[in-house]
Amino acid sequence: MISIIGSGRVGATTAALFMVSELDSNINLVDIVEGLPQGEALDLNHTAAILGKDVKIRGSNNYEDIKGSDIVVITAGLPRKPGMTREELAVKNADIVSQTAEKVKTYAPNAIVIITTNPLDVMVTVLYNKLKFPRNRVIGFSGVLDSRRMAYYASQYIGVSPAAITPLVLGQHGENMYPVPELSFVYGKSLKTYLTEEQYTKVVKDTISAGADITNLRKFSSNWGPASGLTVMVNAIVNDRKTALEASVLLEGEYGVNGVFAEVPVILGKNGIEKVVEVNLSPEQKEKFVKSIDAIKNNLKQVPESYLK
């Protein structure tokens, strides 16, 4: 059973894509807003009937209904508004994530938990500290979205499918993320060799600002991209695909970093994070990565200590 906590745009869209992909025959939508998850579930059940999908979606305001879930996806939290950075949401969302973690710990103690709430790297830290689960079962969603956004932008210049690009974005999911085109590849050839200096700069800039650009254009934050990325991640877990992708994971010495959640390449399978993949960084690249890690640490300082214990 898969449960999604939060029935806003990201949660509802995620449930829809899970249903279309038939990742599980039972999908729970849970939200504190009365009527919202029930209404979304009813609409999605009608959709499943139309599409011939043998999936049942249940909407609930009761956290107890996540009991026995194999995977829990947390999308609950206040979204970004135009002009806001992800980092500005830290204090407001820490309390929501902390309370949600207590419910997951009580009712789904064996679940693999993935969170999308921003600022991502800070919120997955709060989640981890409250759950006390092993690191392989507490995963921050972000890297799939950031890396594939970079693949999209680069593909527009070099004339290949985004699927032909193996992209790499490291560090923070935020204004200080570190896109690395020189360590991203098209059939073994560095992406940087395909780009002019101006194109390189533009790809990096557009990757970093992608979320803000969407929010500023339509006045609410991204939902289709996150839902698609979550579908890829949950598919990897449910079907033990051993997929190489990026996620925010607790670093325990990898990349010379200890005790910080940051997005890096991982192998995802039935146990959650099966392996953290370390990429060799040059001194200059390591410096940029450390700068991104420092931004995460600075953002963590905005959160009261009680949420980090």
Look at the domain 143-308 and name its fold. Answer: L-2-Hydroxyisocaproate Dehydrogenase; Chain A, domain 2 (3.90.110)
Q: What's the pLDDT score for residue 77? A: 87
Q: Is the pLDDT of residue 2 over 70?
A: yes
pLDDT at 109: 97
Look at residue 87 in the predicted model and tell me its pLDDT: 63
Q: How far is CA 13 from CA 8, 75, 218, 225, in A?
A: 8, 11, 16, 10
- Work out the mean pLDDT of the chain and round it to a whole number: 95
- Calculate Rg over the CA atoms of the chain: 19
Q: What is the mean pLDDT of the segment spanning 184-190? A: 95
Q: Which fold has domain 2-140?
A: Rossmann fold (3.40.50)
The arithmetic mean of pLDDT across residues 155-162, rounded, is 96
Return the structure tokens found at 224. 């289709």
State yes or no: pLDDT of 85 exceeds 80.
no
Residues with catalytic function: 173
Instruction: Give domain limits for the chain.
Output: 2-140, 143-308
Is 90 exceeded by the pLDDT of residue 179?
yes
- Do β-strands 243-252 and 258-269 pair in parallel, antiparallel, or remain unpaired? antiparallel
DSSP 7-73: -SHHHHHHHHHHHHHT--SEEEEE-SSTTHHHHHHHHHHHHHHHHT---EEEEES-GGGGTT-SEEE
Percentage of residues of the chain with pLDDT beyond 70: 98
pLDDT score recorded for residue 86: 61
Condensed to tens digits (0 to 9), the pLDDT of residues 94-127 reads 999 999 999 999 999 999 999 999 999 999 999 9
pLDDT at 91: 82
Band (pLDDT 50/70/90 cuts) for residue 79 is confident
Non-local CB neighbours of 92 within 8 Å, separated by 6+ positions = 77, 78
Q: What is the DSSP string of 205-268?
A: HHHHHHHHHHHHHHSS---HHHHHHHHHHHHHHHTT--EEEEEEEEEESGGG-EEEEEEEEEEE
Residue 84 has pLDDT above 70, yes or no: no
- The pLDDT, as a whole number, for residue 88 is 73
Q: Stretch 258-263: mean pLDDT, rounded?
A: 97
